[in-house]
C-alpha cells in the first residue's frame, strides 16, 4: 500500500506514522529511557515511548521545513535493558537525593549509580556509531541529559571540531551534583574534561546556575580558553530578554549565535530550556526561557544557514504520570523532534 502523508497514522507504523524501515532512513532516532539522577521530578525515562505515541498526531507537512518525512526517519525499538538500569540506579540514587546529596558511607551506592549512568551513555555511543557507520545521522531521545554524553563522544570521534548548540535552562557544568559525577547537571562539564573533539559549546536560555559554573564558563570564553580546550559561550536568558525589551530583535540574536558556531554542529534541546508552559512536568522547570516561536525561528535559521547538523538530542521531556492528564509534554516533545529532524 502506498504511503499517504495526508492520512492518519496507522497503529502498526513507525514514529510520526511513517512506513520507513531502517534501510530507508537517513536519520536514526535512538531511544534511551534512562533517568536516575533527576533532582526533582522524575519520569524522563518514559519520554521515548510517550513521544513515539504522541508523534502519530504530528502533521507531516511543515511550511517552513518542507517534507521532513521524505528524508526517512526511523526510531529504534525500545531497549528494555536500559529501562532496567534506570530502575536499578534510581533505587540507589533516590535516598541520596532525598537527603540532599551523598554523605560518608554512600560511596558504594554513588559508584554503582555512576557506573549505570556510564553504561547508559555507552549504550548511546554504540547506537550512534552504528548509525553513522551506515551513513545515517543519529538523534537521541532521552532520558536525562547525562546520557547524551555518549552521543557527543561518538560524533566528536567522527566529526572532530564539532560544536554543540545547547538550549537549556542550566549550564550543566557542575563537576558532580548531589555526589554523582555522571548526573544530568554535569554533562557539559564531562564534555569539557573527558572528551576531545568538541570545539565550542554555545549555551542559550541559561537562567539557573551556580557561581562555580558561571566562573568555569567565563574561564573557557573563546578569548580565555587554553589552546585545544572546549570553548564555552553562554547567552544568559535575562540578557537576551532585556535586549528584546529594549527593542532588539530575536532574529538578530539568533544570527549572532549561529555565526559563532563551527561548520558542523550538534543541536541539544534540554526541554527545560523552553518556557515551562511547554514542558510543565520536566524535572527542574524554571520560569523564562524560549517560547515556541523563538525556538521555531532559531531552528529555521539554523536550517537556512550553511551549518551542517550532524546529530541532535532531545532530553528531559517528562510525560505526566497522572492517568488521563494532558499529554502536552510528549506532544510538544514530538513536534520539537520533528523540526530537529528538519534541521538535518
- Give the residues lining the site for Mn ion (CB under 5 A): 145, 168, 170, 172, 270
Q: Which is nearer to Mn ion, 170 or 307 (CB)?
A: 170
In the bound state with Mn ion, the residue whose beta carbon lies nearer, of 50 and 314, is 314
CB of 17 vs Mn ion, minimal distance in Å: 29
> Whose Cβ is closer to Mn ion: residue 132's or residue 317's?
317
Q: Which three cell numbers stand for residue 249?
A: 530583535
Start-to-end CA distance of the chain, whole Å, equals 28
Query: Considering beta carbons, is residue 127 or 170 the nearer one to Mn ion?
Result: 170
Give least dist CB 166 to Mn ion, A. 7
CA–CA dist 252, 77 (Å, integer): 40
Give the integer Cα–Cα distance in Å for 226 and 223. Answer: 9
Cβ atoms of 6 and 283 closer than 8 Å: no
Three cell numbers, residue 182: 555522571
Specify the residue, 20 or 168, whose C-beta has the smaller distance to Mn ion.
168
Q: Which three cell numbers stand for residue 190?
A: 564531562
Considering the complex, state which of residue 170 and residue 281 has its C-beta at the smaller distance from Mn ion.
Answer: 170
Shortest distance (Å) from residue 18 CB to Mn ion: 29
Helix 80-98 crosses helix 107-133 at what angle (to 10 degrees)? 150
Nearest to 46 by CA among 339, 325, 295: 325
Q: How far is the CB of 204 from Mn ion (least distance, A)?
A: 12
For residues 330 and 317, the answer to whether their CB atoms sit within 8 Å is: yes
Q: Are 22 and 135 a contacting pair, CB within 8 Å?
A: no
Cβ 106 to Mn ion shortest distance, Å: 24
Least gap, CB of 99 to Mn ion (angstroms): 23
Neighbours of 331 (CB within 10 A): 17
Q: What is the nearest approach in angstroms of Mn ion to the Cβ of residue 91? A: 23
Helices (H) then strands (E): counts for the chain: 10, 8
Helix (H) or strand (E) holding 137: strand 137-142
In the bound state, the residue with its beta carbon closest to Mn ion is: 270
Pick between residue 76 and residue 270 the one whose CB is nearest to Mn ion: 270
Angle at 186 between CA 294 and CA 138, to 5 degrees: 60
Amino acid at each position: 500500500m502506498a504511503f499517504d502523508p495526508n492520512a492518519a497514522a496507522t497503529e502498526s507504523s513507525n514514529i510520526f506514522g511513517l512506513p520507513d524501515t531502517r534501510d530507508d532512513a537517513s536519520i536514526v532516532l535512538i531511544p534511551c529511557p534512562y533517568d536516575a539522577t533527576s533532582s526533582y521530578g522524575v519520569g524522563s525515562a518514559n519520554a521515548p515511548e510517550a513521544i513515539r505515541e504522541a508523534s502519530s498526531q504530528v502533521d507531516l507537512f511543515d511550511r517552513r521545513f518542507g517534507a521532513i518525512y521524505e528524508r526517512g526517519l526511523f526510531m529504534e525499538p525500545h531497549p528494555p535493558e536500559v529501562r532496567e538500569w534506570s530502575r536499578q540506579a534510581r533505587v540507589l540514587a533516590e535516598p541520596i537525593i532525598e537527603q540532599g546529596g551523598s554523605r560518608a558511607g554512600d560511596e558504594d551506592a554513588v559508584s554503582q549509580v555512576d557506573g549505570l549512568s556510564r553504561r547508559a551513555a555507552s549504550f548511546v555511543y554504540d547506537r550512534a556509531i552504528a548509525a553513522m557507520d551506515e551513513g545515517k545521522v543519529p538523534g537521541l531521545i532521552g532520558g536525562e541529559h547525562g546520557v547524551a554524553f555518549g552521543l557527543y563522544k561518538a560524533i566528536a570521534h567522527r566529526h572532530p571540531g564539532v560544536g554543540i548548540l545547547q538550549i537549556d535552562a542550566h549550564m550543566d557544568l557542575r563537576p558532580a551534583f548531589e555526589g554523582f559525577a555522571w548526573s544530568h547537571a554535569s554533562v557539559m562539564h564531562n564534555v569539557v574534561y573527558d572528551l576531545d573533539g568538541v570545539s565550542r559549546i554555545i549555551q542559550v536560555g541559561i537562567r539557573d546556575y551556580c557561581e562555580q559554573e558561571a566562573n568555569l564558563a567565563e574561564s573557557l570564553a573563546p578569548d580565555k580558553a587554553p589552546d585545544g580546550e572546549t570553548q564555552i559561550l553562554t547567552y544568559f536568558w535575562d540578557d537576551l530578554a532585556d535586549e528584546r525589551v529594549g527593542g532588539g530583535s530575536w532574529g538578530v540574536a539568533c544570527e549572532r549565535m549561529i555565526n559563532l558556531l563551527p561548520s558542523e554542529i550538534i543541536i541539544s534541546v534540554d526541554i527545560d530550556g523552553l518556557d515551562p508552559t511547554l514542558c510543565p512536568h520536566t524535572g527542574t522547570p524554571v520560569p523564562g526561557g524560549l517560547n515556541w516561536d523563538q525556538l521555531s525561528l532559531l531552528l529555521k535559521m539554523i536550517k537556512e544557514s550553511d551549518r551542517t547538523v550532524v546529530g541532535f538530542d532531545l532530553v528531559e521531556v517528562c510525560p505526566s504520570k497522572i492517568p488521563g492528564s494532558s499529554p502536552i509534554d510528549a506532544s510538544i516533545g514530538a513536534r520539537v523532534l520533528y523540526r530537529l529532524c528538519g534541521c538535518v
